[in-house]
């Protein structure tokens, strides 16, 4: 373990988080919010007091192996969550530090699960920071670090792979730094485009910013108690719905479009399956809710489109209480919660690519049973998937099921009904936010006990980092000197 490099990067992460917190502090100052301003100021000073001494001198050995990359990712996310919770706690907006941590982890992991019963009365600076954590966590603070720091070693790819969602992370260009810059430029461009379109539709600037942060990070924290539904505006529903889908697409597709490789981009297998799932889900829910819930077909389509876009991308915004929808529609949404968006996007869930690989692997094994002499391979986009990737997908799915089952057992101690217990784990492990029952779009997570909240905090981190970094951090093997 390269402990000096680990310490140096964690120090940089704290300095970057302090930088990201400045806009929220300025907003608090502008709106004369004294307590939040000094809360942000105290948190910034504390982070700089720890981060600056840790980064005074660069380590001579900058080499990072896979286990360092995984541990750096896990520790960075735990660190930014703990320090990110301080403004909530110092300002006493949320009195319990566990609740502060829950809200902050939910923000950074782009889950959107909240313990707050009412948000509209919160100070503007706090609301900004709460939503801005989505934007930071969507692309990842470590990807930002790689984009702005002078590191150029190829081993830095281990950090990007540890933080980026999906079965694998490819470099767009030979240098990791350039890849990170491209990712953030695409991310910023899409965010600005959404802000502009929302302002053009008449949404206030502050609301446009925070709602775009939630959309970009596929997080779902809103500044209205009724989420996006509070605006009662079809234009906003469609703009945010479309952008949720766009942020759920693998960013590699956007890079292919930028480099004019249109055929390769639009024939991406994961993209086509992702869009087909959305289309099928919207159609089925529209037909299922038409007349049963909504009087007109246009209205049924509007609400179905928004909720499908929100759930499959694990954003969690709501324009309707889907808890009241027919059982078929609710079960479709539950499937979308687990499936999630594309690999390499800001969305959560198992990922469409993993679903495709799992189905193709199952098909391959069935063929092998009936035709033992036939040699078949699993392919994605016409390329054979290597054994390492297949193994990684299988191990991920096994760990996912084990963690899910264990979490459900722990949550069940609180004694809530099946819908609440089951869907709360689905919503947090897949970084969605709202579930069914008391954690539905009209509810929140405030009713859970301390053990349940700690379990769900771990689920949110496991879901965002896709299990392996947290498992590696908790493993005894991480302290061994063997490099791998």
In the predicted model, is pLDDT for residue 227 greater than 70?
Answer: yes
DSSP state of 386: P
pLDDT (0 to 100) of residue 377: 80
Rounded CA-CA distance 260/187 in Å is 18
Query: How is the chain split among helix, strand and coil, in percent rounded to 5?
Result: 70, 0, 30
86 within 8 A of 46, measured Cβ to Cβ: yes
Residue range 406-455, pLDDT digits in tens: 999 999 999 999 999 999 999 999 999 888 889 988 889 999 999 999 99
- Structure-token pair, residue 173: 């260009």
pLDDT (0 to 100) of residue 184: 86
Mean pLDDT of 34-46: 97
pLDDT (0 to 100) of residue 455: 96
3-state SS class at 325: coil
pLDDT (0 to 100) of residue 175: 60
Rounded CA-CA distance 229/291 in Å is 20
In the predicted model, is pLDDT for residue 404 greater than 50?
Answer: yes
pLDDT (0 to 100) of residue 484: 46
- The count of C-alpha atoms lying within 13 angstroms of the C-alpha of 317, restricted to the half-sphere facing its C-beta, is 39
441 within 8 A of 369, measured Cβ to Cβ: no
Reference 421, options 429, 412, 430, 433; nearest CA is 412
pLDDT (0 to 100) of residue 479: 52
Query: Which residues on neighbouring strands pair with residue 383, listed in sequence order?
Result: 380
| Residue given tokens 């704290």 in the structure block | 14
| Residue 63 CA to its chain's centroid (Å) | 28
Mean pLDDT of 243-255: 92
Mean pLDDT of 176-205: 90
- Answer whether 0.85 is exceeded by the pTM: yes
Residue range 153-179, pLDDT digits in tens: 555 555 666 556 555 545 454 566 677
Count the Cβ atoms, other than its own, within 10 Å of residue 72. Answer: 25
| Residue 108 CA to its chain's centroid (Å) | 8
Residue range 107-124, pLDDT digits in tens: 999 999 999 999 999 999
């Amino acid at each position: 373990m390269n402990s000096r490099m680990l310490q140096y990067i964690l120090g940089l992460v704290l300095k970057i988080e302090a930088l990201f917190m400045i806009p929220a502090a300025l907003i608090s100052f502008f709106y004369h919010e004294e307590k939040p301003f000094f809360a942000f100021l105290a948190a910034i000073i504390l982070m700089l007091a720890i981060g600056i001494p840790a980064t005074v001198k660069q380590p001579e050995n900058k080499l990072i192996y896979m286990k360092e990359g995984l541990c750096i990712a896990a520790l960075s996310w735990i660190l930014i969550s703990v320090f990110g919770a301080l403004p909530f706690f110092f300002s006493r907006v949320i009195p319990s530090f566990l609740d502060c941590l829950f809200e902050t982890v939910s923000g950074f992991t782009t889950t959107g699960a909240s313990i707050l019963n009412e948000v509209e009365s919160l100070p503007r600076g706090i609301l900004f920071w709460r939503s801005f954590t989505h934007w930071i966590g969507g692309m990842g603070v470590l990807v930002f670090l790689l984009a702005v720091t002078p590191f150029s070693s190829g081993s830095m790819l281990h950090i990007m792979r540890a933080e980026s969602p999906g079965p694998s992370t490819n470099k767009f260009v030979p240098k990791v730094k350039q890849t990170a810059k491209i990712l953030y430029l695409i991310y910023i461009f899409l965010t600005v485009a959404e802000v502009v379109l929302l302002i053009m539709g008449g949404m206030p600037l502050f609301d446009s910013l925070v709602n775009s942060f939630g959309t970009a990070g596929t997080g779902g924290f809103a500044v209205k108690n009724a989420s996006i539904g509070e605006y009662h505006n079809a234009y906003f529903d469609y703009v945010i719905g479309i952008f949720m889908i766009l942020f759920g697409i693998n960013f590699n597709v956007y890079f292919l479009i930028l480099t004019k490789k249109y055929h390769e981009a639009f024939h991406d297998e994961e993209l086509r399956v992702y869009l087909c799932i959305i289309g099928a889900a919207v159609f089925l829910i529209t037909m299922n809710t038409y007349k049963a819930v909504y009087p007109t077909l246009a209205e049924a389509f509007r609400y179905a489109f928004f909720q499908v876009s929100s759930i499959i991308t694990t954003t969690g915004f709501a324009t309707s209480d889907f808890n009241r929808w027919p059982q078929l529609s609710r079960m479709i949404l539950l499937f979308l919660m687990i499936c999630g968006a594309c690999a390499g996007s800001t969305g959560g869930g198992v990922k469409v690519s993993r679903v495709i690989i799992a189905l193709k692997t199952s098909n391959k094994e069935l063929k092998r049973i009936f035709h033992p002499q036939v040699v078949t391979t699993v392919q994605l986009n016409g390329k054979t998937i290597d054994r390492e990737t297949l193994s990684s997908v299988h191990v991920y799915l096994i760990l996912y099921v084990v963690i899910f089952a264990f979490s459900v057992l722990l949550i069940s101690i609180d004694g809530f009904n099946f819908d609440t217990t089951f869907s709360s784990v689905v919503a947090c492990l897949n970084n969605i936010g709202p579930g069914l029952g008391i954690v539905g779009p009209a509810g929140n997570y405030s009713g859970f006990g301390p053990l349940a909240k700690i379990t769900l905090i771990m689920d949110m981190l496991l879901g965002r980092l896709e299990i392996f970094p947290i498992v590696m951090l908790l493993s005894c093997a991480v302290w061994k000197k063997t490099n791998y």
